[in-house]
A and B are shown apart, each in its own frame.
Chain A
Amino acid sequence: MITYSFLQHYWWFIISLLAGILAFLLFVQGGQSMLFSLSKTEDERRLLVNVLGRKWEFTFTTLVTFGGAFFASFPLFYSTSFGGAYWVWMAILFCFTLQAVSYEFQSKPGNVFGARTYRTFLFANGLLGTFLIGVAIATFFTGSDFSVNKGNITSQFAPVISQWGNPWHGLEALLNLRNLSLGLAVFFLARSQALLFFINRLSNEVLEKRSRKVLWINAIPFVVFFLIFVIWTLFSEGFAVDPTTGIVSLEKYKYFTNLMEMPVILGFFLLGVVGVLYGIGRSLLSGKFKSGIWYSGVGTIVTVCSLLLISGYNNTAFYPAFPNIQSSLTIFNASSSEFTLNAMSIVSLFIPVVLIYIFYAWRAMEKKRTDIDDVNNDSHAY
């Protein structure tokens, strides 16, 4: 029996999964944020640019698809958050625009601004992209100052349905310490994953050694900020929805309760965290272990997905409004119609096909590790 409620839950799962995959793929950005610090010579830098450059489109495309899927399944989020938290999203977009040209342009003659400029763009994208996406996702737990009034459409002079409550339009999220802690956690996670990726993909002893060395100073802040965010969130108030009346109220330990009441998600969450820690930990302890990225990558996907699931499942408002808590968005009041969710669910059956060909293509291209000679012999090297 496919009910409307099932479809809404299904689509929240897809969104959460895409967010998880995006969080994993942000390793590209993490790597970009270390372009200058990790490499000492031009050859090393080129090597880093090139191994990352073969993956950047996956991250980018996932971000775009995340946006599109969110639009199709929960349009009220799209209209409320993007139009409201204008500055945060614009900043994110701006730095991803910079990224999109930088790989292709940086080493080409005639590029007007020189390689260093484009690499600085990549660096900026690595720094801001990860951090701001983390902050934006944190507001799914901490809330934002907006109100939704669908009746406004009948007003001639101000027919705007979703209104932001302050002129900062999203920048105010940066003043919340809990948001900042997730932003920093995402930033350091992306960097840690990038290091694991380098360890796995590069055939260059110097860079590999260096990667292992700096893994410490990225993994520790990641764990610290992640724990701050998670513990703080689990033990603070959450936004609960009454399933019959739709009334939103603040409930103590809501997210902790959600984990307890949904043991499957709890299980996945713990498994994910263990996967991330195992991938990082073993790479730190053993100089020969190269597969950390797979453990921590899958772990990241599962952890982030579970976190988002507890923000929307079990009668919780996934995009809370504060102080106007009755405007909060839930998977019920923000979703598309049953018809559209149904149609889109059929389309979503295509996702496994996509994953299969991505896997296949990745395998075909990554038969061996990359060194600087590969880059020099490649007709399309960046």
Chain B
Amino acid sequence: MEILNASLVDWSRAQFAMTAMYHWLFVPLTLGLGVIMSVMESLYVKTGNEEWKKATQFWMTLFGVNFAIGVATGIILEFEFGTNWSNYSWFVGDIFGAPLAIEGIMAFFMEATFISIMFFGWNKVSKKFHLASTWLTVTGATLSALWILVANAWMQYPVGMHFNPETVRNEMTDFWSILLSPVAINKFFHTVLSGWVLGGLFVVGVSSWYLIKKRQIDFALKSILVGSIFGLVSALLLAFTGDGSAYNVSQRQPMKLAAMEGLYEGKSGAGLIAIGVLNSEKKSYNDAVNPYLFKIEVPKLLSLLAYRDADAFVPGVKDIIDGGYQTKDGLALSFAEKQASGKVAIQSLANYQKAVSVKDTAEATLQKAQLEKNFKHFGYGYLDKPEQLIPNVPTVFYSFHLMVILGMYFIALFALVIYYNYNKKFENAGWLQWICLLSIPLGYVAGELGWAVAEVGRQPWAIQDILPVQAAISGISSQSVQITFFLFLVLFTALLFAEVGIMLKQIKKGPEGH
């Protein structure tokens, strides 16, 4: 039997994170640009203006290049659940597999079928049929985001299931509560909107480049009009749903919230940090070192956002480990208590299996009851010390704050572009055009940071409270994972270079060269 070591867990996480980060370089643009080009094609069909068709086809070419590489990275992600998280796949496959299958049946086929009409059907099908195909392609992409985000949300907030000791896995009991979980709904909107914002930034930024080069003025202004309005609406909604995300986190993953704010000692009426710098001297959660070197805080805002009450108590890292504060379900347990309960749960499962194998029904019933009582802390039984419960605070803290700052910046930027454009001054505002161009990468950065908050912030959990990453793993050697990690890293990087190369060439060529 292969004994698991930390290195295997780390490499498996690294491989998954790397694949996900690459995947997320491409998906948001697919989502955002997809909607924008669909809107443009709708304008074309409605007005009959060939300029709109030209614009649609131009953005569609970029969409295609980007789409292909999103697909390429996506297939790896799906199968990595099996290849690298084999235990996880059994332990919760009964619930987690369903959204993946539905994604394939309902979303991917829609995407794959209509994308070929969208690309190759301009002269083969009617205008309306073509337009419908374009919208259906984007709808397929968005539905696929829905299902995979439902799956992700379920890991953060497991609902609609119960543990069956006979099969040693969690089983689905309520499909709708999984699909309609508030975390899933909010995650879907926040994530898809982040793609829309990127789409807006991309279209406005690329079009600004044409203005800087004094080319394609009409095309560029048309694109900027659509891109900036779409971007602003999306950015406002994004901030609104971001607030919903933070509320969900506070209710269900208090440790993640504490890490997002670098909050070690909880307090009532807690303020929200607007800008802060962490103190690297802080080595342990209970060493009494001030965690911040510097911070600017908005008083009481964190309590208000997290609990919808300006005076609510927000627990810090130390509180969550020590327990003893009031929550809406009563007094919070300490790490040690949860750990003890988790160990009882795991032991009862072992005893249950033994009892069943010797057909001792009375004992089996007893152990099963014991297991059920303690199951909600099952995952804590795998942890040894309280430090394992704390995610990497600096990563989560800086990622969160930078994401929010960027979110505010995008709102301001789109508003400014719309204002200038409305007053017919954008064409001559070279400085603003440069800012728009240089802001494109920031949209990518913000999205990656968001995932860092969500995924680093939930460590050590593969499934919140139920299964830590070290118990979710496959029985392979860490060398094997290292090899595939580097193979994929090289491959994805090479493909990324190629993608960027093609994009730049296509942009240089412009809609005329199309």
Please count how many residues in chain B sit with their CB below 8 Å of the partner chain's CB atoms. 102
Interface residues of A in 144-183 (CB under 8 A from B): 150-151, 153-154, 156-164, 167, 169
**Inter-chain contacts of A100 with B (CB < 8 A):** 68-69, 71-72, 75
Are B104 and A65 in contact, with the CB atoms below 8 A?
yes
Interface assignment of A130: CB less than 8 Å from any CB of chain B: no
Are B97 and A78 in contact, with the CB atoms below 8 A?
yes
Interface assignment of B3: CB less than 8 Å from any CB of chain A: yes
Interface assignment of A246: CB less than 8 Å from any CB of chain B: no
Shortest beta-carbon distance, A94 to chain B, in Å? Answer: 7
Distance of A319 Cα from B353 Cα, bound (Å): 24
Distance of A143 Cα from B226 Cα, bound (Å): 58
Interface assignment of A64: CB less than 8 Å from any CB of chain B: yes
Interface string of B79-106 (1 = CB under 8 A from A): 1011111111111011111101111111
Q: Which of B71, B81, B96 interacts with A60 by CB under 8 Å?
A: B71
Distance of A86 Cα from B11 Cα, bound (Å): 15
Are A163 and B495 in contact, with the CB atoms below 8 A?
no
**Inter-chain contacts of B71 with A (CB < 8 A):** 57, 60, 100
Interface residues of A in 101-120 (CB under 8 A from B): 101, 103-105, 108-113
Are A343 and B475 in contact, with the CB atoms below 8 A?
no
Dominant SS among interface residues on chain B: helix
Would A75 and B97 be within 8 Å (CB), given that A83-B474, A364-B117, A364-B125 are in contact?
yes
Shortest beta-carbon distance, A98 to chain B, in Å? Answer: 8
**Inter-chain contacts of A343 with B (CB < 8 A):** 98, 172, 175
**Inter-chain contacts of B110 with A (CB < 8 A):** 354, 357
Q: Which of B83, B168, B505 interacts with A150 by CB under 8 Å?
A: B168
Interface assignment of A72: CB less than 8 Å from any CB of chain B: yes
Shortest beta-carbon distance, B54 to chain A, in Å? Answer: 11
Distance of A54 Cα from B108 Cα, bound (Å): 15
Are B86 and A161 in contact, with the CB atoms below 8 A?
yes
Would A75 and B164 be within 8 Å (CB), given that A160-B4, A365-B121 are in contact?
no
Q: Which of B90, B171, B502 interacts with A340 by CB under 8 Å?
A: B171
Q: Which of A67, A75, A104, A354 interacts with B90 by CB under 8 Å?
A: A75
Interface assignment of A378: CB less than 8 Å from any CB of chain B: yes
Q: What number of residue pairs across chains A and B have CB atoms under 8 A from each other?
A: 301
Interface assignment of B476: CB less than 8 Å from any CB of chain A: yes
Are B103 and A68 in contact, with the CB atoms below 8 A?
yes
Would A336 and B3 be within 8 Å (CB), given that A68-B78, A110-B502 are in contact?
no
Shortest beta-carbon distance, B158 to chain A, in Å? Answer: 15
Please count how many residues in chain A sit with their CB below 8 Å of the partner chain's CB atoms. 80
Are A162 and B109 in contact, with the CB atoms below 8 A?
no
Q: Which of B74, B95, B476 interacts with A86 by CB under 8 Å?
A: B476
Are B109 and A354 in contact, with the CB atoms below 8 A?
yes
**Inter-chain contacts of A288 with B (CB < 8 A):** none
Listed stretches B203-211, B296-304, B342-350, B416-424; interface member: B342-350
Would A157 and B4 be within 8 Å (CB), given that A72-B98, A82-B82, A379-B57 are in contact?
yes
Would A67 and B78 be within 8 Å (CB), given that A97-B491, A108-B502 are in contact?
yes
**Inter-chain contacts of B477 with A (CB < 8 A):** 167
Interface residues of A in 319-345 (CB under 8 A from B): 336-337, 339-340, 343-344
Are A364 and B105 in contact, with the CB atoms below 8 A?
no
Distance of A63 Cα from B94 Cα, bound (Å): 20
**Inter-chain contacts of A151 with B (CB < 8 A):** 168, 350, 353
Are B1 and A158 in contact, with the CB atoms below 8 A?
yes
Distance of A161 Cα from B487 Cα, bound (Å): 27
Between-chain CB contacts (< 8 Å), 23 pairs: A68-B102, A68-B103, A71-B101, A79-B89, A79-B93, A82-B89, A83-B84, A83-B85, A89-B82, A100-B71, A100-B72, A104-B68, A150-B168, A153-B87, A153-B349, A154-B349, A163-B1, A169-B476, A336-B94, A340-B98, A343-B98, A379-B57, A380-B60
Top-6 shortest CB links A-B = A75-B93, A82-B82, A83-B86, A110-B505, A65-B104, A83-B474
